[in-house]
Chain A
Amino acid sequence: MISVQEITVCFGEKVVLDHFSLELPEKGITALSGPSGCGKTTLLRVLAGLQPVQQGTVTVPQPPVMLFQENRLLPWRTVERHITDVLPKSRRGEVSRWLALAELEGEEKQFPPALSGGMGRRLALARALACGGKLFLLDEPFTGVDAPRAARMVERIRQLGVPVILSSHEAEVVALCDRVISLKGPPLVRV
Protein backbone atom coordinates (compact mmCIF):
# COMPACT_ATOMS: atom_id res chain seq x y z
CA MET A 1 0.00 0.00 0.00
CA ILE A 2 1.17 3.51 -0.83
CA SER A 3 0.19 5.77 2.02
CA VAL A 4 0.73 9.19 3.48
CA GLN A 5 -0.70 9.79 6.95
CA GLU A 6 -1.33 13.18 8.50
CA ILE A 7 1.51 14.88 6.66
CA THR A 8 2.16 18.59 7.02
CA VAL A 9 4.44 20.62 4.75
CA CYS A 10 4.96 24.36 5.11
CA PHE A 11 7.09 26.78 3.10
CA GLY A 12 7.62 29.61 5.56
CA GLU A 13 4.15 30.86 6.49
CA LYS A 14 2.46 29.00 3.63
CA VAL A 15 0.89 25.66 4.57
CA VAL A 16 0.76 23.46 1.45
CA LEU A 17 -0.14 20.14 3.08
CA ASP A 18 -2.01 20.23 6.39
CA HIS A 19 -2.50 16.83 8.04
CA PHE A 20 -3.10 15.37 4.58
CA SER A 21 -3.72 11.62 4.27
CA LEU A 22 -4.03 9.38 1.22
CA GLU A 23 -3.91 5.64 0.56
CA LEU A 24 -3.45 4.05 -2.85
CA PRO A 25 -3.05 0.46 -4.03
CA GLU A 26 0.40 -0.59 -5.28
CA LYS A 27 -0.75 -1.13 -8.85
CA GLY A 28 -2.01 0.70 -11.91
CA ILE A 29 -1.85 4.36 -12.84
CA THR A 30 -3.26 7.01 -10.51
CA ALA A 31 -3.84 10.53 -11.74
CA LEU A 32 -3.68 13.49 -9.40
CA SER A 33 -5.91 16.15 -10.86
CA GLY A 34 -6.34 19.68 -9.66
CA PRO A 35 -5.62 23.33 -10.38
CA SER A 36 -2.05 24.65 -10.68
CA GLY A 37 -0.46 25.49 -7.36
CA CYS A 38 -2.80 23.32 -5.28
CA GLY A 39 0.09 21.17 -3.98
CA LYS A 40 0.28 18.20 -6.38
CA THR A 41 4.00 18.67 -7.03
CA THR A 42 4.72 18.97 -3.30
CA LEU A 43 2.79 15.74 -2.68
CA LEU A 44 4.77 13.94 -5.42
CA ARG A 45 8.04 15.26 -3.98
CA VAL A 46 7.02 14.06 -0.53
CA LEU A 47 6.31 10.60 -1.95
CA ALA A 48 9.69 10.65 -3.71
CA GLY A 49 11.44 11.50 -0.44
CA LEU A 50 12.72 14.78 -1.87
CA GLN A 51 10.57 17.04 0.30
CA PRO A 52 10.92 16.79 4.08
CA VAL A 53 7.65 16.85 6.03
CA GLN A 54 7.08 18.76 9.26
CA GLN A 55 5.01 15.84 10.56
CA GLY A 56 3.29 12.67 9.43
CA THR A 57 4.40 9.37 7.94
CA VAL A 58 5.01 8.32 4.35
CA THR A 59 5.08 4.69 3.18
CA VAL A 60 6.00 3.98 -0.44
CA PRO A 61 7.66 1.07 -2.27
CA GLN A 62 11.42 1.66 -2.41
CA PRO A 63 13.01 3.11 -4.38
CA PRO A 64 10.59 5.59 -5.92
CA VAL A 65 11.66 7.50 -9.06
CA MET A 66 10.54 11.02 -9.84
CA LEU A 67 10.04 12.76 -13.16
CA PHE A 68 10.38 16.43 -12.32
CA GLN A 69 8.10 19.15 -13.62
CA GLU A 70 11.15 20.66 -15.39
CA ASN A 71 13.06 18.42 -17.82
CA ARG A 72 16.40 18.91 -16.01
CA LEU A 73 18.35 17.56 -18.98
CA LEU A 74 22.12 17.98 -19.18
CA PRO A 75 22.82 20.27 -22.17
CA TRP A 76 26.25 18.63 -22.67
CA ARG A 77 24.96 15.02 -22.87
CA THR A 78 23.39 13.43 -25.94
CA VAL A 79 19.94 11.82 -25.91
CA GLU A 80 21.56 8.38 -25.82
CA ARG A 81 23.88 9.37 -22.95
CA HIS A 82 20.96 10.57 -20.84
CA ILE A 83 19.67 7.00 -20.84
CA THR A 84 23.02 5.23 -20.37
CA ASP A 85 23.83 7.61 -17.50
CA VAL A 86 20.99 6.17 -15.38
CA LEU A 87 21.43 2.53 -16.40
CA PRO A 88 23.72 0.20 -14.46
CA LYS A 89 26.40 -1.49 -16.59
CA SER A 90 24.43 -4.74 -16.68
CA ARG A 91 21.48 -2.96 -18.39
CA ARG A 92 23.37 -0.84 -20.96
CA GLY A 93 21.78 -2.81 -23.80
CA GLU A 94 18.36 -1.35 -22.93
CA VAL A 95 18.98 2.12 -24.38
CA SER A 96 17.04 1.51 -27.59
CA ARG A 97 14.12 0.03 -25.62
CA TRP A 98 13.68 3.20 -23.55
CA LEU A 99 14.16 5.49 -26.54
CA ALA A 100 11.53 3.47 -28.41
CA LEU A 101 9.12 3.85 -25.49
CA ALA A 102 9.49 7.63 -25.77
CA GLU A 103 9.46 7.50 -29.60
CA LEU A 104 12.92 9.04 -29.79
CA GLU A 105 14.53 6.56 -32.21
CA GLY A 106 16.93 8.30 -34.59
CA GLU A 107 17.61 11.14 -32.12
CA GLU A 108 20.37 9.30 -30.20
CA LYS A 109 23.16 11.73 -31.08
CA GLN A 110 21.17 14.94 -30.58
CA PHE A 111 21.84 17.31 -27.69
CA PRO A 112 18.91 18.68 -25.62
CA PRO A 113 19.05 22.23 -27.04
CA ALA A 114 18.39 20.73 -30.50
CA LEU A 115 15.21 18.95 -29.31
CA SER A 116 11.69 20.37 -29.46
CA GLY A 117 9.80 20.94 -26.18
CA GLY A 118 7.86 17.70 -26.55
CA MET A 119 10.96 15.68 -27.45
CA GLY A 120 12.81 17.06 -24.44
CA ARG A 121 9.88 16.08 -22.22
CA ARG A 122 9.81 12.56 -23.68
CA LEU A 123 13.57 12.21 -23.11
CA ALA A 124 13.17 13.31 -19.48
CA LEU A 125 10.38 10.73 -19.09
CA ALA A 126 12.43 7.97 -20.76
CA ARG A 127 15.35 8.74 -18.43
CA ALA A 128 13.16 8.56 -15.31
CA LEU A 129 11.60 5.27 -16.41
CA ALA A 130 14.97 3.80 -17.44
CA CYS A 131 16.38 4.66 -14.01
CA GLY A 132 14.01 2.03 -12.64
CA GLY A 133 12.19 1.81 -9.34
CA LYS A 134 9.23 0.32 -7.52
CA LEU A 135 7.09 3.44 -7.93
CA PHE A 136 7.06 6.05 -10.71
CA LEU A 137 6.08 9.58 -9.70
CA LEU A 138 5.51 11.62 -12.83
CA ASP A 139 4.92 15.35 -12.55
CA GLU A 140 3.13 16.60 -15.68
CA PRO A 141 4.77 13.91 -17.85
CA PHE A 142 3.13 14.86 -21.13
CA THR A 143 3.52 18.65 -21.24
CA GLY A 144 4.08 19.56 -24.90
CA VAL A 145 3.38 15.99 -26.08
CA ASP A 146 0.49 15.56 -28.52
CA ALA A 147 -2.52 13.62 -27.20
CA PRO A 148 -2.28 10.50 -29.46
CA ARG A 149 1.40 10.06 -28.64
CA ALA A 150 0.74 10.62 -24.93
CA ALA A 151 -1.97 7.93 -25.07
CA ARG A 152 0.44 5.44 -26.69
CA MET A 153 3.05 6.21 -24.06
CA VAL A 154 0.58 5.76 -21.18
CA GLU A 155 -0.16 2.25 -22.47
CA ARG A 156 3.57 1.44 -22.71
CA ILE A 157 4.13 2.73 -19.17
CA ARG A 158 1.23 0.58 -17.93
CA GLN A 159 2.92 -2.48 -19.46
CA LEU A 160 5.99 -1.92 -17.27
CA GLY A 161 3.91 -3.22 -14.36
CA VAL A 162 5.17 -0.62 -11.90
CA PRO A 163 2.66 1.51 -9.97
CA VAL A 164 2.50 5.07 -11.28
CA ILE A 165 1.22 8.29 -9.72
CA LEU A 166 1.11 11.16 -12.14
CA SER A 167 -0.16 14.70 -12.10
CA SER A 168 -1.71 16.02 -15.28
CA HIS A 169 -3.87 18.78 -16.64
CA GLU A 170 -4.65 16.97 -19.89
CA ALA A 171 -8.14 15.45 -19.75
CA GLU A 172 -7.16 12.85 -22.40
CA VAL A 173 -4.32 11.58 -20.22
CA VAL A 174 -6.38 11.59 -17.01
CA ALA A 175 -9.09 9.59 -18.81
CA LEU A 176 -6.58 6.80 -19.55
CA CYS A 177 -5.60 6.35 -15.89
CA ASP A 178 -7.00 3.62 -13.64
CA ARG A 179 -8.09 6.05 -10.93
CA VAL A 180 -8.27 9.78 -10.51
CA ILE A 181 -7.76 11.70 -7.27
CA SER A 182 -9.24 15.18 -7.55
CA LEU A 183 -7.53 17.73 -5.40
CA LYS A 184 -7.77 21.40 -4.52
CA GLY A 185 -5.84 23.75 -2.30
CA PRO A 186 -3.57 24.88 -0.80
CA PRO A 187 -3.69 23.41 1.71
CA LEU A 188 -4.25 20.29 -0.33
CA VAL A 189 -7.55 18.46 0.15
CA ARG A 190 -9.40 15.76 -1.78
CA VAL A 191 -12.47 16.98 -3.56
Chain B
Amino acid sequence: MTPSTTSRNSTGIKILRAVIPLAFWLGVWQLAAFLVDLRTSGHGALLLPAPMVVAGRLQVLAVQPAFWQAAVVTLGRIFAGFAAGAAAGAVTAAATSALKGADWVLTPAVKVIRAIPVASFIVLVLLWAPSAGWVPAIVSGLMVLPVLWGNVSKGVAQTDPLLLEAARAYRFGRGKTLRLVYLPSVLPYFASGCATGLGLAWKAGVAAEVLCQPKLAIGTQLYRAKITLETPDLFAWTAVVIVLSFLLEYAMGLLFRRLGGSKP
Protein backbone atom coordinates (compact mmCIF):
# COMPACT_ATOMS: atom_id res chain seq x y z
CA MET B 1 0.00 0.00 0.00
CA THR B 2 1.45 3.43 -0.95
CA PRO B 3 1.58 6.29 1.57
CA SER B 4 -1.04 8.29 -0.37
CA THR B 5 -3.46 5.33 -0.30
CA THR B 6 -2.95 5.00 3.48
CA SER B 7 -3.59 8.73 3.91
CA ARG B 8 -6.77 8.54 1.78
CA ASN B 9 -7.97 5.56 3.84
CA SER B 10 -7.39 7.30 7.16
CA THR B 11 -9.23 10.43 5.91
CA GLY B 12 -12.09 8.20 4.77
CA ILE B 13 -12.23 6.53 8.20
CA LYS B 14 -12.25 9.95 9.89
CA ILE B 15 -15.17 11.09 7.72
CA LEU B 16 -17.08 7.87 8.38
CA ARG B 17 -16.50 8.22 12.13
CA ALA B 18 -18.07 11.67 11.99
CA VAL B 19 -20.92 10.87 9.58
CA ILE B 20 -22.12 7.51 10.93
CA PRO B 21 -22.93 8.66 14.51
CA LEU B 22 -24.53 11.84 13.14
CA ALA B 23 -26.69 9.85 10.73
CA PHE B 24 -27.59 7.37 13.49
CA TRP B 25 -28.76 10.05 15.94
CA LEU B 26 -30.60 12.00 13.24
CA GLY B 27 -32.37 8.73 12.41
CA VAL B 28 -33.28 8.20 16.08
CA TRP B 29 -34.56 11.79 16.27
CA GLN B 30 -36.59 11.37 13.08
CA LEU B 31 -38.11 8.13 14.35
CA ALA B 32 -38.95 9.67 17.75
CA ALA B 33 -40.51 12.71 16.05
CA PHE B 34 -42.57 10.39 13.81
CA LEU B 35 -43.84 8.40 16.82
CA VAL B 36 -44.70 11.57 18.79
CA ASP B 37 -46.53 12.91 15.74
CA LEU B 38 -48.55 9.69 15.54
CA ARG B 39 -49.47 9.82 19.26
CA THR B 40 -50.50 13.51 19.09
CA SER B 41 -52.57 13.26 15.90
CA GLY B 42 -50.31 15.48 13.79
CA HIS B 43 -49.32 17.98 16.49
CA GLY B 44 -45.93 16.40 17.10
CA ALA B 45 -43.97 19.50 16.03
CA LEU B 46 -45.17 21.18 19.22
CA LEU B 47 -43.36 18.62 21.36
CA LEU B 48 -40.65 17.19 19.13
CA PRO B 49 -40.24 18.65 15.65
CA ALA B 50 -38.57 16.44 13.02
CA PRO B 51 -34.99 17.25 11.92
CA MET B 52 -36.18 18.51 8.52
CA VAL B 53 -38.68 20.88 10.16
CA VAL B 54 -35.91 22.31 12.35
CA ALA B 55 -33.57 22.58 9.35
CA GLY B 56 -36.32 24.44 7.43
CA ARG B 57 -36.82 26.82 10.34
CA LEU B 58 -33.07 27.38 10.60
CA GLN B 59 -33.01 28.25 6.90
CA VAL B 60 -35.73 30.85 7.41
CA LEU B 61 -34.01 32.36 10.44
CA ALA B 62 -30.58 32.42 8.80
CA VAL B 63 -31.64 34.95 6.17
CA GLN B 64 -32.64 37.47 8.85
CA PRO B 65 -29.92 39.93 9.95
CA ALA B 66 -31.23 39.75 13.55
CA PHE B 67 -30.32 36.05 13.63
CA TRP B 68 -26.67 36.72 12.88
CA GLN B 69 -26.59 39.72 15.20
CA ALA B 70 -27.95 37.64 18.08
CA ALA B 71 -25.53 34.80 17.32
CA VAL B 72 -22.48 37.08 17.09
CA VAL B 73 -23.36 39.10 20.20
CA THR B 74 -23.97 35.94 22.26
CA LEU B 75 -20.74 34.41 20.98
CA GLY B 76 -18.86 37.59 21.87
CA ARG B 77 -20.39 37.81 25.34
CA ILE B 78 -19.74 34.19 26.22
CA PHE B 79 -16.24 34.19 24.80
CA ALA B 80 -15.38 37.41 26.65
CA GLY B 81 -16.71 35.94 29.91
CA PHE B 82 -14.89 32.67 29.27
CA ALA B 83 -11.58 34.40 28.48
CA ALA B 84 -11.81 36.67 31.53
CA GLY B 85 -12.76 33.72 33.77
CA ALA B 86 -9.93 31.58 32.36
CA ALA B 87 -7.38 34.35 32.84
CA ALA B 88 -8.62 35.12 36.37
CA GLY B 89 -8.61 31.39 37.24
CA ALA B 90 -5.05 30.95 35.98
CA VAL B 91 -3.76 34.06 37.76
CA THR B 92 -5.53 33.04 40.99
CA ALA B 93 -4.03 29.55 40.73
CA ALA B 94 -0.56 31.02 40.21
CA ALA B 95 -1.06 33.25 43.26
CA THR B 96 -2.44 30.49 45.53
CA SER B 97 0.35 28.11 44.44
CA ALA B 98 3.14 30.64 44.96
CA LEU B 99 2.00 32.59 48.04
CA LYS B 100 0.74 31.09 51.27
CA GLY B 101 -1.13 34.28 52.16
CA ALA B 102 -2.94 34.29 48.81
CA ASP B 103 -3.79 30.62 49.31
CA TRP B 104 -5.40 31.32 52.71
CA VAL B 105 -7.42 34.26 51.41
CA LEU B 106 -8.37 33.20 47.88
CA THR B 107 -8.87 29.42 48.08
CA PRO B 108 -12.01 29.59 50.29
CA ALA B 109 -13.43 32.33 48.03
CA VAL B 110 -12.92 30.23 44.88
CA LYS B 111 -14.47 27.21 46.60
CA VAL B 112 -17.52 29.31 47.53
CA ILE B 113 -17.84 30.50 43.90
CA ARG B 114 -17.67 26.86 42.79
CA ALA B 115 -20.46 25.87 45.20
CA ILE B 116 -22.92 28.69 44.38
CA PRO B 117 -25.68 27.55 41.99
CA VAL B 118 -25.67 29.25 38.59
CA ALA B 119 -29.26 30.50 39.08
CA SER B 120 -28.23 32.37 42.26
CA PHE B 121 -25.38 34.00 40.38
CA ILE B 122 -27.64 35.06 37.52
CA VAL B 123 -30.14 36.71 39.84
CA LEU B 124 -27.45 38.37 41.99
CA VAL B 125 -25.44 39.64 39.02
CA LEU B 126 -28.65 40.91 37.40
CA LEU B 127 -29.20 43.05 40.52
CA TRP B 128 -25.65 44.41 40.46
CA ALA B 129 -24.74 44.67 36.76
CA PRO B 130 -25.20 48.00 34.94
CA SER B 131 -27.22 46.32 32.15
CA ALA B 132 -28.66 42.88 31.33
CA GLY B 133 -26.07 42.44 28.56
CA TRP B 134 -23.29 42.13 31.15
CA VAL B 135 -24.91 39.31 33.08
CA PRO B 136 -24.19 36.38 30.69
CA ALA B 137 -20.52 37.39 30.37
CA ILE B 138 -20.03 37.79 34.13
CA VAL B 139 -21.86 34.56 34.95
CA SER B 140 -19.87 32.64 32.28
CA GLY B 141 -16.65 34.00 33.75
CA LEU B 142 -17.66 33.03 37.28
CA MET B 143 -18.42 29.47 36.12
CA VAL B 144 -15.07 29.14 34.35
CA LEU B 145 -12.87 30.66 37.07
CA PRO B 146 -13.00 27.79 39.63
CA VAL B 147 -12.49 25.16 36.91
CA LEU B 148 -9.34 26.84 35.60
CA TRP B 149 -8.16 27.55 39.13
CA GLY B 150 -8.46 23.85 40.01
CA ASN B 151 -6.75 22.62 36.84
CA VAL B 152 -3.91 25.12 36.84
CA SER B 153 -3.28 24.58 40.59
CA LYS B 154 -3.07 20.84 39.90
CA GLY B 155 -0.68 21.46 36.99
CA VAL B 156 1.59 23.60 39.17
CA ALA B 157 1.55 20.98 41.94
CA GLN B 158 2.33 18.19 39.45
CA THR B 159 5.31 19.98 37.89
CA ASP B 160 8.24 17.58 38.12
CA PRO B 161 10.35 18.52 41.19
CA LEU B 162 13.42 16.98 39.54
CA LEU B 163 13.09 19.42 36.63
CA LEU B 164 12.66 22.30 39.05
CA GLU B 165 15.80 21.25 40.92
CA ALA B 166 17.67 21.01 37.60
CA ALA B 167 16.43 24.50 36.70
CA ARG B 168 17.89 25.79 39.99
CA ALA B 169 21.14 23.88 39.49
CA TYR B 170 21.55 25.30 35.96
CA ARG B 171 20.83 28.83 37.21
CA PHE B 172 17.66 29.39 35.13
CA GLY B 173 16.28 32.19 37.29
CA ARG B 174 12.57 32.75 37.99
CA GLY B 175 11.52 33.97 34.54
CA LYS B 176 13.24 31.17 32.67
CA THR B 177 11.98 28.52 35.10
CA LEU B 178 8.45 29.83 34.60
CA ARG B 179 8.79 29.88 30.79
CA LEU B 180 10.70 26.63 30.30
CA VAL B 181 9.45 24.40 33.11
CA TYR B 182 6.20 25.61 34.67
CA LEU B 183 4.33 26.83 31.57
CA PRO B 184 4.89 23.71 29.42
CA SER B 185 4.04 21.48 32.42
CA VAL B 186 0.84 23.39 33.18
CA LEU B 187 -0.32 23.83 29.55
CA PRO B 188 -2.08 20.40 29.26
CA TYR B 189 -3.96 21.07 32.52
CA PHE B 190 -4.89 24.57 31.32
CA ALA B 191 -6.10 23.19 27.96
CA SER B 192 -8.19 20.52 29.67
CA GLY B 193 -9.68 23.15 32.02
CA CYS B 194 -10.52 25.36 29.05
CA ALA B 195 -12.33 22.52 27.28
CA THR B 196 -14.46 21.85 30.39
CA GLY B 197 -14.88 25.57 31.13
CA LEU B 198 -16.04 26.40 27.63
CA GLY B 199 -18.97 23.99 27.89
CA LEU B 200 -19.91 25.47 31.26
CA ALA B 201 -19.61 29.02 29.90
CA TRP B 202 -22.09 28.26 27.11
CA LYS B 203 -24.59 26.59 29.43
CA ALA B 204 -24.42 29.32 32.08
CA GLY B 205 -24.22 32.18 29.56
CA VAL B 206 -27.27 31.11 27.56
CA ALA B 207 -29.19 30.38 30.79
CA ALA B 208 -28.35 33.92 31.94
CA GLU B 209 -29.60 35.32 28.62
CA VAL B 210 -32.86 33.39 29.02
CA LEU B 211 -33.39 34.87 32.49
CA CYS B 212 -32.13 38.40 31.78
CA GLN B 213 -33.24 38.77 28.17
CA PRO B 214 -30.81 41.28 26.74
CA LYS B 215 -31.94 42.79 23.42
CA LEU B 216 -29.66 40.79 21.13
CA ALA B 217 -29.17 37.29 22.46
CA ILE B 218 -29.74 33.65 21.58
CA GLY B 219 -31.16 33.13 25.08
CA THR B 220 -33.77 35.83 24.49
CA GLN B 221 -34.77 34.09 21.25
CA LEU B 222 -35.01 30.76 23.10
CA TYR B 223 -37.29 32.37 25.69
CA ARG B 224 -39.52 33.90 22.97
CA ALA B 225 -39.74 30.55 21.19
CA LYS B 226 -40.80 28.95 24.46
CA ILE B 227 -43.57 31.44 25.33
CA THR B 228 -44.96 31.40 21.77
CA LEU B 229 -44.74 27.59 21.63
CA GLU B 230 -42.51 27.77 18.54
CA THR B 231 -40.77 24.51 19.33
CA PRO B 232 -38.99 24.27 15.95
CA ASP B 233 -37.44 27.71 16.68
CA LEU B 234 -36.38 26.47 20.10
CA PHE B 235 -34.61 23.54 18.45
CA ALA B 236 -33.13 25.75 15.74
CA TRP B 237 -31.62 28.19 18.26
CA THR B 238 -30.35 25.28 20.33
CA ALA B 239 -28.68 23.90 17.21
CA VAL B 240 -27.03 27.31 16.72
CA VAL B 241 -25.67 27.17 20.29
CA ILE B 242 -24.30 23.66 19.68
CA VAL B 243 -22.63 24.66 16.40
CA LEU B 244 -21.09 27.82 17.90
CA SER B 245 -19.88 25.88 20.93
CA PHE B 246 -18.27 23.21 18.70
CA LEU B 247 -16.64 25.87 16.51
CA LEU B 248 -15.19 27.67 19.51
CA GLU B 249 -13.96 24.40 21.01
CA TYR B 250 -12.37 23.44 17.67
CA ALA B 251 -10.65 26.84 17.37
CA MET B 252 -9.36 26.53 20.92
CA GLY B 253 -8.09 23.01 20.25
CA LEU B 254 -6.17 24.34 17.22
CA LEU B 255 -4.69 27.13 19.34
CA PHE B 256 -3.50 24.74 22.07
CA ARG B 257 -2.07 22.31 19.51
CA ARG B 258 -0.13 25.26 18.09
CA LEU B 259 1.04 26.41 21.50
CA GLY B 260 2.22 22.90 22.33
CA GLY B 261 3.56 22.55 18.79
CA SER B 262 7.20 22.49 19.83
CA LYS B 263 6.55 19.24 21.67
CA PRO B 264 7.26 16.01 19.82
Q: Which residues of A contact B (CB under 8 A)?
A: 48, 50, 63, 65-66, 68, 70, 72, 74-78, 85-86, 111, 113-114, 127-128, 131
Annotate B131-169 by CB proximity to A: 1 below 8 A, 0 otherwise: 000000000000000000000000000000011011011
How far, in Å, is B162 (CB) from chain A's closest CB? Answer: 5
Complex contacts, A131 vs chain B, CB 8 Å: 170-171
Query: Which of A48, A76, A85 contacts B263, CB < 8 Å?
Result: A76
Nearest 5 A/B pairs, CB to CB: A111-B264, A72-B166, A76-B184, A76-B263, A86-B170
How far, in Å, is A179 (CB) from chain B's closest CB? Answer: 25
A50 B165 Cβ-Cβ under 8 A: yes
Distance A63 CA – B169 CA, assembled complex (angstroms): 10
Q: Interface residues of B: mostly helix, strand, loop or mixed?
A: helix
Distance A68 CA – B166 CA, assembled complex (angstroms): 8
A74 B170 Cβ-Cβ under 8 A: no
Complex contacts, A85 vs chain B, CB 8 Å: 170, 172, 176, 180
B169 A48 Cβ-Cβ under 8 A: yes
A70 B180 Cβ-Cβ under 8 A: no
Complex contacts, B163 vs chain A, CB 8 Å: 72, 74
Query: Which of B162, B181, B260 contacts A68, CB < 8 Å?
Result: B162
Interface centre among A66, A72, A114, A128 (most CB of B within 10 A): A72
Complex contacts, A77 vs chain B, CB 8 Å: 180, 262
Complex contacts, A68 vs chain B, CB 8 Å: 162, 165-166, 169
Query: How big is chain B's contact interface, by range?
Result: 10 to 19
Q: Which residues of B contact A (CB under 8 A)?
A: 162-163, 165-166, 168-172, 176, 180-181, 184, 260, 262-264
Q: List 12 A-B contacts (CB under 8 A).
A: A65-B169, A65-B170, A68-B162, A68-B169, A74-B163, A74-B180, A74-B181, A76-B260, A76-B263, A78-B262, A85-B170, A86-B171
How far, in Å, is B179 (CB) from chain A's closest CB? Answer: 10
Distance A29 CA – B176 CA, assembled complex (angstroms): 32
How far, in Å, is A11 (CB) from chain B's closest CB? Answer: 16
Residue in chain A with minimal CB distance to B166: A72
Complex contacts, B171 vs chain A, CB 8 Å: 63, 86, 131
Distance A106 CA – B170 CA, assembled complex (angstroms): 24
Complex contacts, B181 vs chain A, CB 8 Å: 74
Residue in chain A with minimal CB distance to B163: A72
B176 A74 Cβ-Cβ under 8 A: no
Distance A65 CA – B169 CA, assembled complex (angstroms): 7
A114 B170 Cβ-Cβ under 8 A: no
A75 B169 Cβ-Cβ under 8 A: no
Residue in chain B with minimal CB distance to A68: B166
Residue in chain A with minimal CB distance to B165: A50
How far, in Å, is A18 (CB) from chain B's closest CB? Answer: 25
How far, in Å, is A103 (CB) from chain B's closest CB? Answer: 21
Complex contacts, B262 vs chain A, CB 8 Å: 76-78
Other than A75-B264, A86-B170, A128-B170, give 9 A-B pairs with Cβ distance below 8 A.
A48-B169, A50-B168, A70-B162, A72-B162, A72-B165, A76-B262, A85-B172, A111-B264, A113-B264
Distance A50 CA – B148 CA, assembled complex (angstroms): 34
Complex contacts, A111 vs chain B, CB 8 Å: 263-264
How far, in Å, is A111 (CB) from chain B's closest CB? Answer: 4
A74 B169 Cβ-Cβ under 8 A: no
Distance A114 CA – B262 CA, assembled complex (angstroms): 13
How far, in Å, is B183 (CB) from chain A's closest CB? Answer: 9
Residue in chain A with minimal CB distance to B171: A131
Residue in chain B with minimal CB distance to A133: B171
Residue in chain A with minimal CB distance to B176: A85
How far, in Å, is B52 (CB) from chain A's closest CB? Answer: 49
Known: A76-B184, A131-B171. A114 touches B162 (CB 8 A): no
Distance A72 CA – B263 CA, assembled complex (angstroms): 16
Complex contacts, B170 vs chain A, CB 8 Å: 65, 85-86, 127-128, 131
